[in-house]
C-alpha cells in the first residue's frame, strides 16, 4: 500500500463506518417511526411485534452507535447478528440465494458490520475520544500500588 493510501485508511474507514451506520439507523427509523417511506407497507411496525419491531430498534440504536463510533465493535457485532438472524429466519425460507429471496440488504449489512467488528471504528470515533480522556489502566494500577498501604 502506498504511504498516501496508508495515511488515509483510518479516515476512509471512519467515513465507511459513518455512512453504513447512518443507512442502518435510517432503515430502523423508517420501521419504528414510519418516516422515510416507512416500513414495507408504508407505515411503522407496531411496538413489540416480534421480530420486526425489535430488529428495527436494533437497527436504529446500533446504526446510531456505529455512526458515532460509540461502543463500535459491540454495536456492530449485535447489528451483524441481527442481520444474520433476519437473513436465515425471514429470507432463507423463500429461496436459496439472496438475489432470489430479497435478503441482499440483510446479507450485506451482516458482513459489513462483521468487518467493522474486526477493523474497529477508524478515526473520528467517540470511542477514541473517550479513551484519550481516561487514564491508561497501567498508570492507574501503578498509582494505586504507590498509594496503597503495604500490608505485612
Kindly indicate the confidence band of residue 41, based on its pLDDT and cuts at 50, 70 and 90.
confident
pLDDT of residue 145: 56
Number of Cβ within a 10 Å radius of residue 135: 8
Number of Cβ within a 10 Å radius of residue 1: 8
pLDDT of residue 3: 81
Say whether pLDDT at 136 is over 90: no
Question: CA nearest 93: which of 101, 104, 82?
Answer: 101
What span, in angstroms and rounded, lies between the C-alpha atoms of 74 and 49?
24
Condensed to tens digits (0 to 9), the pLDDT of residues 92-124 reads 889 889 999 999 999 999 999 999 999 999 999
pLDDT of residue 75: 98
Which residue carries 496503597 as its cell? 148
Least confident span in 39-48, 72-81, 137-146: 137-146
Cα-based distances in Å from 124 to 57, 58, 100: 25, 23, 38
pLDDT of residue 148: 52
pLDDT of residue 5: 86
Condensed to tens digits (0 to 9), the pLDDT of residues 44-95 reads 888 998 988 999 999 999 999 999 999 999 999 999 999 999 999 999 889 8
pLDDT of residue 151: 46
Kindly indicate the confidence band of residue 1, based on its pLDDT and cuts at 50, 70 and 90.
low
Say whether pLDDT at 152 is over 90: no
54 in helix, strand or coil?
A: helix
Amino acid at each position: 500500500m502506498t504511504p498516501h493510501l496508508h495515511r488515509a485508511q483510518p479516515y476512509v474507514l471512519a467515513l465507511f463506518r459513518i455512512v453504513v451506520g447512518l443507512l442502518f439507523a435510517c432503515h430502523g427509523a423508517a420501521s419504528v417511526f414510519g418516516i422515510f417511506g416507512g416500513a414495507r407497507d408504508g407505515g411503522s411496525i407496531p411496538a413489540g411485534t416480534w421480530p420486526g419491531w425489535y430488529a428495527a430498534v436494533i437497527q436504529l440504536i446500533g446504526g446510531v452507535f456505529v455512526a458515532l463510533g460509540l461502543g463500535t465493535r459491540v454495536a456492530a457485532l449485535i447489528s451483524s447478528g441481527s442481520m444474520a438472524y433476519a437473513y436465515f429466519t425471514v429470507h432463507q425460507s423463500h429461496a436459496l440465494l439472496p438475489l432470489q429471496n430479497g435478503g441482499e440488504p440483510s446479507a450485506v449489512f451482516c458482513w459489513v458490520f462483521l468487518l467493522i467488528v474486526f477493523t474497529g471504528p477508524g478515526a473520528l470515533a467517540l470511542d477514541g475520544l473517550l479513551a484519550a480522556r481516561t487514564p491508561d489502566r497501567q498508570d492507574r494500577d501503578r498509582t494505586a500500588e504507590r498509594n496503597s498501604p503495604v500490608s505485612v
